[in-house]
Amino acid sequence: MFQITDEKDLQALSESEELEFKLAQGKDGRGKLPDDFWPTYSAMANTRGGYVVLGVKEKRGSLTVVGIQDINTVQKQLFDIANNKAKVNINLLTNEDVKQINIDNKLLLVIRIPSAKRENKPVYLNNQPMKETYIRLHEGDQHCDEEQVKRMMAEQIESCRDDKILIGYNFDDIELESLRAYKNLLAVAKPQHPWLELDLFDMFKKLGGWRKDRASGEEGLTLAGILMFGNWDAIQEALPNYFVDYRERDEANTERWVDRLYPDGSWSGNIFDFYRRTYRKLTNDLKVPFELQDGVRLDESKAHEAIREALVNTLVHADYTGRSSILIVKRPDLYGFRNPGLMRVPPELAVKGGESDCRNRRMHQMFLMIGAGERAGSGVPKIYSGWRWANWRTPKLYEKQTPSEQTLLELSTVSLIPKEITELLGSLFGDSFYSLGELEQMIVTTAAIEGWVNHERSCQLTSKHSRDVTLALPRLVDKGFLVSSGEKKDKSYSLPGMEPPSPEDVFTNVLTSIDRLTHNVNSLTYSEDGLTHKELNAEKKSDDRDEKGRFISDMLDKPFVDELDSLTEHYRTELNALGVRAREQRRLDIDTMKMLIKDLCRGHYISVAVLEVLLDRKPQSLRQNYLKPMVSEGVLKMAFPHKPNSPMQGYTAL
């Protein structure tokens, strides 16, 4: 339970997405558990847990301590309803999770809602799992769709997802060359192993690729067997959403790849063959320093081990029924790993190690047999220690709920603290920087390297709880190591005097032109010397507009299309032509829409308001379904990445 002693603590904690404030006054003003507590309970339990503080009024980001007069009655209501199966299917709360605190003689009720274990999800209300199951997205509670609920139910029942026997499949669906190659690797890893004396089918059975259910008598290929060694047709029939993809880029800020591996008919497409081919590509130019062990030179470094573990982790923890693909990216500055499905163990616990709940245990065991992968929850710590050994930046492990559930791991090959950053920190803070704790040093260093840092990014740097980060950030501001900008969930931090430009900084001095004061440029009748206003606007180039009418600023690296009316008629027509397909077809597949968005974002930043008009799509749909995912995939870049929710945000293609 975190400590709150005054309103300043409340304001600091309000930046966390794992915290919710509710008034809890009731009609008589004495106190009542608010009805909207329970959707928050469900949402936090189904994601990563959190805290609800009752007795605080929140309005436009400002918090006011009101207190609860009859707090014991509210606390009794909480447990009475939590134990009522007709209201909520499971009570996760204990007496230790509920505390009364006193601020300025006003009593507040602090409720810790733990994250439900996989076996207890979904947590739902009113006996309606399909309609009243919630998840926490950003700081809000949102309904789960039926697909998400069904996935939680499958996770609850199937401890090992790849143990399932597939009816109608047989050994003819196995790629024998893959199985022979696996046997060769087993012989290298365990040359005396008795399974090496078996024929391929018997070895396959021992590995768990084929099993018999003793209760039902049913036997056949397992999902693990098909995934690991199956041929492409069999995999596609068993798992229609299955796809594996490796992309290698020669530049950080480009979508163009110089090498790609995906199931194209020239190879099996199964997990084992993808692992073999991808691992070689990931490590083929990774240097091996001279190092001896027991008098023998090592042919792999700890960085090799970390990359292998990251690859295996991605493959064995994936939810192959999910909509995302397996995606591995190699860039000069980064190794990226994405798998469908959320982590079964919270990221902060996975980084610490010791807890393991593998989604595909039979596949994991198959990798362990050939010396790939780690046991008992030690895989992620091994990745982190390998990156520390190489003196590279702390890995970034995080999850995404939208547009589909996925887990991402980014391994940066940028030096932990480059020489120029060390010199910068020394010139700004002197020896006082080294008096900071490890977490605080890491936050300040990240702000120096990346230009800014926020609560979410800071949480990715440490295995400590997000509350530790929440309290560390205002401390660093108080000590003068960081300056803050923005409010609450949109707050970011940077080094003093090095704040990145905000939308307000960039657009404040823009001169208001005549056409901005009108509602519709096409309805203008004003003319000068026979020219319409639109034509005048095209001819008169402002100091803050380029020859196409795009806004320019020395604070931005590219022009900005902030409104269509300011563009020249020729360029506006050109952009309209790019978006015509979306305007004429209400239903476009995702890849086509992404291609159109990328074309519209090429060569400049463009606002969501302009994209809304050009594509005839609602702004919320554009942000959630396309823009945010494309930023995460490295296809688009934001003009103001430290202000992701700004209404003046713009996007450009990389």
Each residue of 73-85: pLDDT tens digit?
999 999 999 999 9
What span, in angstroms and rounded, lies between the C-alpha atoms of 38 and 44? 10
What distance lies between CA 288 and its chain's CA centroid?
32
What pLDDT sits at residue 222? Answer: 96
User: Contact at 8 Å (CB) between 223 and 305?
Assistant: no
- Environment class of 417 (CB within 10 Å of its CB; exposed 0-12, middle 13-18, buried 19+): middle
Residue type, 651: Y
Q: What architecture is the 7-156 domain classified under in CATH?
A: 2-Layer Sandwich (3.30)
How many CA atoms does the CB half-sphere of 446 hold within 13 Å? 25
Bridging pattern class, strands 531-532 and 98-103? unpaired
What pLDDT sits at residue 345? Answer: 85
403 φ, ψ (degrees, to nearest 5): -75, -10
User: Would you list the domain boundaries of the chain?
Assistant: 7-156, 158-287+300-416, 436-499, 506-653
What span, in angstroms and rounded, lies between the C-alpha atoms of 226 and 174? 7
CA distances from 291 to 19, 298, 576 (A): 48, 6, 60
Q: Which residue numbers in the chain have pLDDT < 70?
A: 1-6, 8-17, 60-61, 138-139, 252-255, 288-299, 376-377, 463, 488-490, 509-543
What span, in angstroms and rounded, lies between the C-alpha atoms of 88 and 21? 21
What pLDDT sits at residue 512? Answer: 37
Within 338-418, where are the H helices? Answer: 347-352, 361-369, 379-389
DSSP-based three-state secondary structure for 531: strand
User: Contact at 8 Å (CB) between 469 and 459?
Assistant: yes
Residue type, 10: L
What pLDDT sits at residue 368? Answer: 94
* Token pair recorded at residue 500: 């990145």
What pLDDT sits at residue 2? Answer: 60
Where on the phi/psi map is residue 184: left (φ > 0), alpha (ψ -120 to 50), or beta? alpha
DSSP character at residue 195: G
What span, in angstroms and rounded, lies between the C-alpha atoms of 380 and 393? 15
What pLDDT sits at residue 17? Answer: 67
pLDDT digits (tens, 9 = 90+) for 431-472: 898 889 888 988 999 899 888 898 888 887 776 777 788 888
pLDDT digits (tens, 9 = 90+) for 495-517: 998 888 888 888 875 433 333 32
* Token pair recorded at residue 5: 């002693």
What span, in angstroms and rounded, lies between the C-alpha atoms of 272 and 252? 28
What sign does the dihedral 166-172-175-177 (CA atoms) show? positive
CA distances from 629 to 403, 404, 409, 458 (A): 7, 10, 15, 21
Residue 29 burial (CB count, 10 A): 11
What pLDDT sits at residue 527? Answer: 37
What span, in angstroms and rounded, lies between the C-alpha atoms of 343 and 350? 9
Residue type, 485: S
User: Contact at 8 Å (CB) between 551 and 559?
Assistant: yes
Name the residue among 548, 528, 526, 530 with its Cα closest to residue 538. 548
What span, in angstroms and rounded, lies between the C-alpha atoms of 444 and 441? 5
What pLDDT sits at residue 509? Answer: 52
204 φ, ψ (degrees, to nearest 5): -60, -40
Q: What architecture is the 158-287+300-416 domain classified under in CATH?
A: 2-Layer Sandwich (3.30)
What span, in angstroms and rounded, lies between the C-alpha atoms of 627 and 134? 24
What pLDDT sits at residue 305? Answer: 92
Residue 162 burial (CB count, 10 A): 26
The 3 state secondary structure assigned to 117-170 is: CHHHCCCEECCCCCCCEEEEECCEEEECCHHHHHHHHHHHHCCCHHHCECCCCC
H or E segment to which residue 228 belongs? helix 223-229
How many CA atoms does the CB half-sphere of 552 hold within 13 Å? 13
What span, in angstroms and rounded, lies between the C-alpha atoms of 228 and 99? 50
* Token pair recorded at residue 576: 């309209």
CATH topology of domain 436-499: Arc Repressor Mutant, subunit A (1.10.10)
What pLDDT sits at residue 576? Answer: 94
Bridging pattern class, strands 605-607 and 560-561? parallel
